[in-house]
Amino acid sequence: MKQIGYAKASPNLDAIFSALADPTRRAILVRLAEGEASVGEIAAPFSMSQPAISKHLKVLERAGLIVRGVDEQRRPAKLQADAMGVAVEWLAEFEQFWDGSFDQLDSVLMQMKKSERGETGNE
């Protein structure tokens, strides 16, 4: 089932998954959805030091989920939509495998019921 996803998968997917697995990093992404921000601005609502936030940003950057600006002072972080799109698409596809299979199983069971009734009727 996962192989279906592999066909479209990005080489970065592991990094994306580990990056998204952390609640702080997901919260950072939500913050960045409002617009680009410096480390200080991102750190403000968290009870976390700037170096700790910087570490999270590095993980997000390596996963290709954000890009950092060139401004030496601020290095504002910005969301990069493409990478997240890959993860979302892949995960959605994965769930759809069983959803889609189960829908098909529903109709197979319906046919089994019908033919069982048919056989009984013929006897």
Partner 1 sequence: MSELPKYVVDRKFEAPREMVWRAWTEPELLARWYGPGVETIIHKFDLRADGEWLNEMKRGEYSMLSRAVFTEVSPPERLAWRQYSSTDRNWQSIPNPQMPDWPRIMLTTVTFSEQGGVTNVRLEWAPYEATEMEVACFAGAVANLGKGWESGFALMDQLFAELQA
Query: Residues 37, 66, 76, 94: which binds partner 1 (CB under 8 A)?
Result: 94
Closest CA to 66 of 35, 21, 22, 91: 35
Site membership for partner 1, residue 117 (CB under 8 A):
no
Classify 70 as helix, strand or coil: coil
Q: What is the three-class DSSP state of 37?
A: strand
* Contacting range for partner 1; rule: CB under 8 A; set: 43-51, 52-60, 67-75, 101-109: 101-109
- Residues 8-37 touching partner 1, rule: CB under 8 A, are 9-11, 13-14, 17-21, 26, 29-30, 33-34
Residue 50: which residues within 8 A CB-CB, separation 6 or more?
39, 40, 43
Q: Residue 79 is inside which H or E element, if any?
A: strand 77-79
Q: Which of 49, 92, 114, 117 binds partner 1 (CB under 8 A)?
A: 92
**Which structure tokens are listed for 60?**
């997000």
Under the rule (CB under 8 A), what is the footprint of partner 1? 1-4, 6-7, 9-11, 13-14, 17-21, 26, 29-30, 33-34, 79, 81, 84-85, 87-88, 91-92, 94-109, 112-113, 116
